[in-house]
Structure 1
Amino acid sequence: MKQLPTRTEAKAHAKYLSRSLNINLSYAQDVVALRYNCHDWSELSTVFGQFSDKYMSCYGLASPEEKRAFSQLLAPYTAELQNAAHPDRHVPESLMHKIAEGHIPRVSGKVMSAVIRECEDSPPTTVEDIIDLLEFYDETASRVLVGQHRQIASNNTWLEPWVFGLRFYAYYHFKGKMVTILSREWDLDIHDAYLPHVRDRVFSRPWFQAYMVGYLAYLVKQFIGLGYDGTIKICCVNNYSALDYHEKKAAPYSRVGIHHLYRALLDCGGEYKWSLSQNGHKHDFGIELPFAALTSLKKGGK
């Protein structure tokens, strides 16, 4: 059994979502409730702080034991880690910045447990070993930029930020300070998103489109903050492709909310685009947006 978030923890999570994704706080609370298999905030409020197995499908808060083990693991390298955040690749939201600024409680239990497990299997011997591990498990654009720093011109880094309940799989193509992001798979991964008998429940929530678009804006702002510009293309959302939407094919399990998301991407400046291979073959049809189209959005989800 594990402990559900306390009222303070759940409210802090909701405020972070509201601020980061630019959505209304009441809708952010609804998201947090779904993360713990509760239908809404009212249901979650009846079980704050309780120990349970029923609500654990997307659990990610660190336990006291994980926090203690993670802190002990980093303790020998405290001074070096405080100076390890690099202005060219570590965004303010990155794992390195959280650690450098002493905000270890803000690290998800998912990341803590992964780092602890890796160190148990292969104990680090230098601070560079620890930095490499922390950069690998980063959940922000910094995970991508570390590859760019190592002169990987194109990489397919995946981002799975627990705090947002998303999985974002993409290719990042760099040319100087321009980056082209091609996402072939982008999934909302909370509560009933993958239950085949549930008809559009998560996707029809009033915050769904603003939440998803808000994440794209959050991501590209991290790149912009380090001097990059570029485009982002979305090819598929929860197994329903932009091409299927363009061809007016039904979404699986009648998830019409994904229709509205694609429409929202087009309405905020997106365009249908094919990618072209070197020999001229078309591939990866999607909706492409310039970074600027996402950074100028007004608050959504009201």
Structure 2
Amino acid sequence: MSIQPQSALAKHIKKKFDIGASQAKEIVTFMHGCREWNELSSDDHKKTYSIYSMCCLPTKAETEELIGKITPFLSPIRRLSAPEIHIQGSLVDKVNNQKFNQIPLSTLHYLLGTTFKAKRVTALSVFQDLEFLDDSFGKVLAQRKSRFGTISAQKPIKVWLENSIYGHRLYSSFHFDGNSLDVCCSEWDLEFFRPSSSGSMNPKQISVCGKSWFPVYMFGYLKSLIVQFVAAGFSGNVRICRVQNNHAQAFYRKNSFGRNPGTDQLFQSLIDCGGQYEWDGDDKELNFGITLPFDKLLTSPPSKIKEGV
């Protein structure tokens, strides 16, 4: 089996998150349910490839199939787009700029297998699915307008952001006040694990939190989201409450349970960058976290981001 898509993804992750080549390869290896890089081309891996390949970028043939389906709708999709919602990097933006090779494979499969298999396919139906499948801040802005009828609504909105290319999944509440934005991330997980030698996929046994790249990879993805917030014209703060089911409150209290060395390193990095412990109202268990202004996070030097042990 060719591992060209996986190699391309590893190079992309290395560049985007400024981590080592071997670390990027290990991340991609785990994404595909393997323990070692060379397993990606083995016959045994072919049996599970269809399950884990959703993390990958599409091949040229898959991209060309999507282009053939979506090309007739490109002009009306552009007319439906709004730059203040469909920001740079959003799925609609990628389609408008014909960056089809940047569309996650899981998204591509949904479009080909569901969107374009419907009995009646219109530009509006394709456009709505693009908004639904988006994994960027643009999804939050689109849902804000859809739910409240305006892009300037001040009501909070809770959204799952699921990035299949990098394996991140976050549940956050977004509180808007003019150009000010406060984000409270109550759940943040990686959607891949390190397979055990027995082939077990029990996440408690094979968490990647102990890998040296874990804090850097997590911090890098958080920073990429903040870049989107700022590019959309917002300033504000982000609060991280729970990572891989490990609570910031447990880290603060130095509990002997509910903690992991990798998430401890991430929480400490947030504190070192200027983060403060905060919570709202009486629900301390749910929203206690480490709050960090956007600008401090973006200007933090790499030395502040600690690698795991």
* 1:100 paired residue among 96, 104, 113: 96
User: Are 2:280 and 1:275 aligned?
Assistant: yes
Distance 1:199 1:77 in 2: 44
How many residue pairs were aligned? 290
User: Are 2:233 and 1:239 aligned?
Assistant: no
Indicate the residue corresponding to 1:23 in structure 2.
19
Indicate the residue corresponding to 2:3 in structure 1.
6
| Contact 1:98–1:106 (8 Å) recurs in 2 | yes
Post-superposition offset of 1:133: 1.4
Distance 2:299 2:50 in 1: 36
Post-superposition offset of 1:131: 1.5
Q: Deviations over 1:88-146 (max 9, x none)?
A: 12232211122122221221121122234144346333x23322210111111111121
What are structure 2's unaligned runs of at least 5 residues?
Answer: 196-200
User: Are 2:193 and 1:191 aligned?
Assistant: yes
1:192 aligned counterpart, secondary structure: coil
Distance 1:35 1:264 in 2: 25
Q: Deviations over 1:215-238 (max 9, x none)?
A: 110001011112111111111111
* 2:294 paired residue among 285, 291, 294: 291
Indicate the residue corresponding to 2:198 in structure 1.
none
| Contact 1:83–1:100 (8 Å) recurs in 2 | no
Q: Deviations over 1:60-84 (max 9, x none)?
A: 1446775455333312212233565
Distance 1:197 1:147 in 2: 34
Indicate the residue corresponding to 1:205 in structure 2.
211
| Contact 2:86–2:92 (8 Å) recurs in 1 | yes
User: Are 2:248 and 1:248 aligned?
Assistant: no
* 1:131 paired residue among 121, 127, 131: 127
Q: Deviations over 1:33-59 (max 9, x none)?
A: 211122244544x54x99702455532
Identity of aligned residues (%): 26
Indicate the residue corresponding to 1:179 in structure 2.
181
Q: Deviations over 1:154-179 (max 9, x none)?
A: 21111110111111111111111111
Q: What residue identity is the alignment partner of 2:210?
A: S
| Contact 1:36–1:56 (8 Å) recurs in 2 | no
| Contact 1:232–1:288 (8 Å) recurs in 2 | yes
| Contact 1:270–1:289 (8 Å) recurs in 2 | yes
Indicate the residue corresponding to 1:32 in structure 2.
28
| Contact 1:155–1:173 (8 Å) recurs in 2 | yes
Q: Deviations over 1:226-269 (max 9, x none)?
A: 211111111111111111222222345x7321222211221122
Q: What residue identity is the alignment partner of 1:211?
A: Y
Distance 2:2 2:269 in 1: 33
| Contact 2:269–2:306 (8 Å) recurs in 1 | no
Indicate the residue corresponding to 1:214 in structure 2.
220
Indicate the residue corresponding to 2:163 in structure 1.
161
2:19 aligned counterpart, secondary structure: coil
| Contact 2:135–2:161 (8 Å) recurs in 1 | yes
Post-superposition offset of 1:301: 7.7
Which has the bigger relative contact order, CA under 8 A and spacing at least 6?
A: 1
Sort the Cα spacing of 1:54 and 1:28 in 2 relative to 1 into closer, same or farther, 3 A.
Answer: same
2:169 aligned counterpart, secondary structure: strand
Sort the Cα spacing of 1:123 and 1:301 in 2 relative to 1 into closer, same or farther, 3 A.
Answer: farther
Q: Deviations over 1:260-296 (max 9, x none)?
A: 22112211221110112xxx66551111111112211
What are structure 1's unaligned runs of at least 5 residues?
Answer: none
Sort the Cα spacing of 1:281 and 1:123 in 2 relative to 1 into closer, same or farther, 3 A.
Answer: same
Q: What residue identity is the alignment partner of 1:161?
A: N
Worse overlay, 210-219 or 264-273: 264-273
Post-superposition offset of 1:16: 2.1
